[in-house]
Structure 1
Amino acid sequence: MPVRLRKFIGTILILFIVILYSILATSIASAFLGASPWWVHLLYFLLSGLLWILPAMLIIKWMAGPIKK
C-alpha cells in the first residue's frame, strides 16, 4: 500500500476514533458522574482524556509502515 494512502486512511481513522471516543466518554460521564465529588470527575476526565492515545498510537505506528533497512 502506498504511504500516502496509508497516511490518509490513518488520519481518517484517528478522526473517527477521537469523535466517537469523545461522545462515548461524555455520555458515560453525564450518565454516571452527575452527583460525584470533584475529585472523581478529575480522575475520570484525566484517565479518559489519556486513554484514546493508545489506539491512536497503534494507528500512527501502522501509518509509518514497516521499517526499511
Structure 2
Amino acid sequence: MTIRTRKFLGAILLLVLATVWSLLGMAAAQMPWIAESGWRQAIYYVVVGLGWVLPAMPIVSWMQRADRVKSGS
C-alpha cells in the first residue's frame, strides 16, 4: 500500500474516530453523576477531550510509515 493510500484511509479513519468519540462523549456527559457537579464535568471534559489522541496515535504513525522499497529483479 502506498503512503498516499494510507494517508487517505487514515484521514477517513481519523474522521470516523473523532465523530464516534464525540458522540459517545456527549452521550456519557448526560449521566447524572457527571451532570450534577461542575468539577466532575471539568475533569470529564478534559479527560474525554484529550482521550481521543491515544487511539489516534497508532493511526497517524501507520499513515506516516514509509513505502516499501520494491526490489527490481
* TM > 0.5: yes
Structure with max Cα Rg: 2
The CA distance in 2 between the partners of 1:34 and 1:57, in whole Å, is: 30
Matched residue SS, 2:35: coil
Superposition pairs of residues 1-69 of structure 1, within 5 angstroms = 1-32=1-32, 33-35=34-36, 37-66=37-66
TM-score, normalised on structure 2? 0.84
The answer for the alignment partner of 2:71 in structure 1 is: none
When the two structures are superposed, what TM-score results if normalisation uses the length of structure 1?
A: 0.88
How many aligned positions are there? 67
Give the deviation of 1:67 after TM superposition: 8.3
- Pairwise CA distance, 1:55: 1.0
CA RMSD of the aligned region, Å?
1.6
Sequence identity, in percent? Answer: 36
Mind listing any 5+ residue stretches in structure 2 that lack a counterpart?
69-73
Q: CA deviation at 1:31?
A: 2.5
- Which residue identity is paired with 2:60? I
| Distance in 2 separating the partners of 1:19 and 1:30 | 17
